[in-house]
Structures are given as structure tokens and as C-alpha cells.
Amino acid sequence: MINRSLGTSGLEVSAIGFGCMGLNHGYGHSLTENDAVAVIRSAVDLGVTFFDTAEVYGPYTNEELVGKALAPVRDQVVIATKFGFSIDGGRSTGLDSRPDHIRTTVEESLRRLDIERIDLLYQHRVDPQVPIEDVAGTVKELIEAGKVGHFGLSEAGVEIIRRAHVVQPVTALQSEYSLWWREPEAEIIPTLHELGIGLVPFSPLGKGFLTGTISGATSFSDSDVRSNLPRYSEQMRTAHQSLVDLVTAIGARNNATPAQVALAWILAQHPTNVPIPGTTKLHRLQENTAAVDVELSATDLDQLNAASAEVDLSTDRYPAHMQRWINR
């Protein structure tokens, strides 16, 4: 595994991180705690030093298992978590980035993760009720108090990124970005490069779609988030199958899997991109981390860029009750 720097912040992480969400949240099934801990520790063994969780995953239980898994190697890894939702009855009920709520959430995340400092703390979603200057100012105080290392945003737009960055330099933006979702390239990514902010692409495998294991015919259980995503409808998957076929064909001529091509494409876009694929399976973890060794040719990249430029970006990514949390 090789390292990358998140923007100009100096925060060094493995070029491919690990998204811990799906271990027990989002996809309708949970690993046992022991199995989830084993997956995370295998990621460490493979050289991964960047782990992503959030208060809202579970809620709460994902942070606990990440803390447990990483306790023996705490000083060798970068742990990122997120605040920004109100949680009631075991689910997120709305946004809440009021300063007092941020401070309380950070204390609880520190306790659940069993650490003294959160290395990278993201605002999970922009809260239109709270000026971003107040959010950034609160995180700045937490950094000065030694409870947080770096500040990040998730799914924020350019105006918010710029305003936040004035108050407290932003180390990373975590946003959906993949061959299946290149919308951030229009305005957001140029702004990140101008300001020296790293990009942490989430759902870099298109929640599995880009791996070639999902087609229009695949069905998902009601508890799998993909059953409710407009961009995951049977029609959308069928419409974009040709993109997956190309990813698969380019993999074949590079002796790589489709998942590796999808990750190698992200790594090739910019030296401070650090994708965080998730998986519950050890063999896929090995496969995904090995994507650092896949080098796509200029022809491969041109073909992938041309095909992915045809992707329909007009359909919402989330159902209405979640889409309203994307405030740019």
C-alpha cells in the first residue's frame, strides 16, 4: 500500500481507505461484531490506515466496533467520523449542527471510539439552520482543545466549502464520486484543488454497481438502502449496464477486476483522491486494496471518461426524505 496526502493539510493516509458503514449499516445485513472486527483488522494488515465511520451508522454501533477493532493499532491509523444528524428511535430524524450538539456528539464519539482525539471530523450534511461559520468555529475550538485533528465536510457545495475554509481550513471533502457519479467535477473538484483540500470519494464502487455483480435484474431487500434509491432503480441500472460492461472489458485487458478498475480510475484523477470502498468480505477487501497497483493507460482512461460522461446525472441519488439533506 502507498500513502497519499489529503490536500495540502499534511494528513497522510493509505491511498485506499476503508469505509466501515456496510459492516453493520445500510445494506440490510450486519456482520457479527467479531467478524466485523476481523475485517477491519485484515484491512490494517493489508496496509490500510484510513477508516471511515459516523455517529449515525448503526446508529452508534459502527463507531463502537471501529474503536474496538482499531484499539491495538490506534497510533498507526487515521480514524474519521461524522456529526450532523439528530437521532431518535434508532434512526436519523433530521439535521443538527448546532454548536452544542456538535460538542456533545464529539464527546460521545470519543467515548464510543475509545480514543482521545478524532483524527478527522466531518460535518455529515450541511445544516441550513446553522451558519457554516458557526460550525467551522466550533470544530476549530475542538481542534484547539486537542479533541479533533482535522476538519472535513461531506456533500457540501462550493460556497459552503469556501466559507468554512476561511474560519477553519478544511482538510477533506467526502462526497459521492465514481465513474457512475461525476457531478462534483463541474464546480466542486476545481474548488478543492484551488484550496488544497483532499477528496474522499464515498460509494466509489457505486454501492457495488460498478463491480459487475449487480444488474437490472438484481433485487434488494427492503432494509437495503439501494431498494429506495432512485438512481438504483431497475431502469437506471439497466440504462447504465454498458458502462459496467466497459469497466469489465478494461479490467480484462489489464488483468484486473471491475472493482479495481473503478478504484484505479479514481486514483488516476488526482493525487489527493482517497476512495473509501466498503465490503463485508475478506477476499473483496484484498481485491479492492490491490487496486493501488492497477495502472490504467491513457486509452483506458479516455474510454472510461467518454462512457461515464454519458451517465444520467438528472435523477436524484436519494429518496425525497434524504435528498433534502443535500444542501449546496
Ligand X SMILES: NC(=O)c1ccc[n+]([C@@H]2O[C@H](COP(=O)([O-])OP(=O)(O)OC[C@H]3O[C@@H](n4cnc5c(N)ncnc54)[C@H](OP(=O)(O)O)[C@@H]3O)[C@@H](O)[C@H]2O)c1
Q: What is the CA radius of gyration of the chain?
A: 19
Identity of the residue, 165 or 231, whose beta carbon is nearer to ligand X in the bound complex: 231
Cis omega (within 30 of 0) for bond into 190: no
Please name which of 165, 74, 163, 170 lies closest in space to residue 118, comparing C-alpha atoms.
Answer: 74
- Please, where are the H alpha helices in the chain? 33-45, 61-70, 99-113, 132-144, 158-167, 188-195, 234-239, 241-253, 258-269, 282-289, 298-308, 320-323
Q: How near is the Cβ of 253 to ligand X at its closest, in Å? A: 18
Among 7, 198, 204, 251, binds ligand X (CB under 6 A): 204
Residue 167 CB, nearest distance to ligand X (Å)?
A: 21
Q: With CB under 6 A as the contact rule, which of the stretches 7-15, 187-195, 201-209, 239-247 interacts with ligand X?
A: 201-209
Least Å from the CB of residue 57 to ligand X: 7
The correct pick among 7, 58, 206, 251 for binding ligand X (CB under 6 A) is: 206
Which residue type, as a one-letter code, is found at position 273?
Answer: N
Q: Known catalytic residue: 57? A: yes
Q: What are residue 19's DSSP bridge partners?
A: 52
Per-residue x/- track, 222-261, ligand X (CB under 6 A)? -------------------------------------x--
- What is the grid cell recorded at 6? 489529503
- Bridge partners of 278? none
b/e code 28-40 from CB counts within 10 Å (16+ = b) = eebbeeeebbebb
101 versus 284: smaller Cβ distance to ligand X: 284
**Between residue 36 and residue 95, which ones bind ligand X under the rule CB under 6 A?**
52
CA dihedral 173, 174, 179, 182 (to 10 degrees): -50
Stretch 138-157 residues interacting with ligand X (CB under 6 A): 154-155
User: Binding to ligand X by residue 287, rule CB under 6 A?
Assistant: yes
Sole window of 13-21, 42-50, 138-146, 299-307 interacting with ligand X (rule: CB under 6 A): 13-21
- Candidates 126-134, 162-170, 186-194, 276-284 — which segment interacts with ligand X by CB under 6 A? 276-284
CA distance linking residue 21 with residue 30, whole number of Å: 10
Among 81, 92, 171, 279, binds ligand X (CB under 6 A): 279
Nearest residue to ligand X by CB is: 19
> 3-state DSSP: the chain helix, strand, coil percent, rounded to 5?
45, 15, 35
Backbone angles phi, psi at 42, to 5 degrees: -65, -35
Which residue's CB is nearer to ligand X, number 20 or number 170?
20
Among 203, 272, 273, 289, binds ligand X (CB under 6 A): 203
Catalytic residue among 27, 57, 177, 232: 57
Give the binding range for ligand X (CB under 6 A) out of 3-11, 19-27, 36-44, 229-237: 19-27
Q: Which amino acid appears at position 309 of this protein?
A: A
Contacting ligand X (CB under 6 A), which of 202, 265, 272, 308? 202
- Residue 22 in the binding site for ligand X (CB under 6 A): yes
Strands 148-154 and 170-176: parallel
Nearer of residues 138 and 257 to ligand X, judged by Cβ? 257
* CB of 210 closer than 8 Å to CB of 262: yes
Least distance to ligand X from the beta carbon of 53, Å? 6
Q: Which residues bind ligand X (CB under 6 A)?
A: 19-22, 27, 52, 154-155, 174, 202-208, 211, 213, 259, 276-281, 284, 287-288
Residues belonging to the active site: 57
